[in-house]
Structure 1
């Protein structure tokens, strides 16, 4: 399955990041959920059973907007810590 993300941009460029996050102990998961639903650069998110609480896929037309979306996970979403991984390109699993 190929994930295709449409992000509005004047030049067609798109910047993506996968962000793992751990919530502050005082923040309910419902608070993060509300934040994610309100953010336009959130493509998908998953609750995780690990040393992190969630993984979020972000896509934005500029690096500035992508960095802001990551920062907002802490500032507004209640993340205690985040680990950001920039997406470079998709790996072609099917032979060409």
Structure 2
């Protein structure tokens, strides 16, 4: 994870695995990646959601591409995080 005082880019990535790929392949890939903050298995049309945080857009794009190349993702849908919402009044 990127330290708080450094600029960073964050994205939430929805992942659909290829049918022939075991979930353990994705899990092993995510555990080895430096920009993965957290991830969740999802019971929906997708298999997982991954939160990424990287120091540059290039690193962020590379992390998403690696989900395809190394993690077994058939499809990804990436949404950039702009800023947190203030929920307290």
Whole-angstrom CA distance in 2 between matches of 1:38 and 1:56: 13
Unaligned runs of 5+ in 1: 1-5
Unaligned runs of 5+ in 2: none
CA RMSD of aligned residues (A): 1.4
Runs of 4 or more consecutive aligned structure 1 residues displaced over 3 Å after TM superposition? none
Whole-angstrom CA distance in 1 between matches of 2:58 and 2:88: 33
Residue 16 (str. 1) matches residue 14 (str. 2)? no
Number of residue pairs aligned between Structure 1 and Structure 2: 89
Q: Which residues of 2 match residues 44-83 of structure 1 at below 5 A?
A: 44-83=38-77
TM-score (norm 2): 0.95
Greater Rg by CA: 1
Whole-angstrom CA distance in 1 between matches of 2:88 and 2:53: 24
Residue 42 (str. 1) matches residue 29 (str. 2)? no
CA-CA distance at 1:12 after TM superposition: 1.5
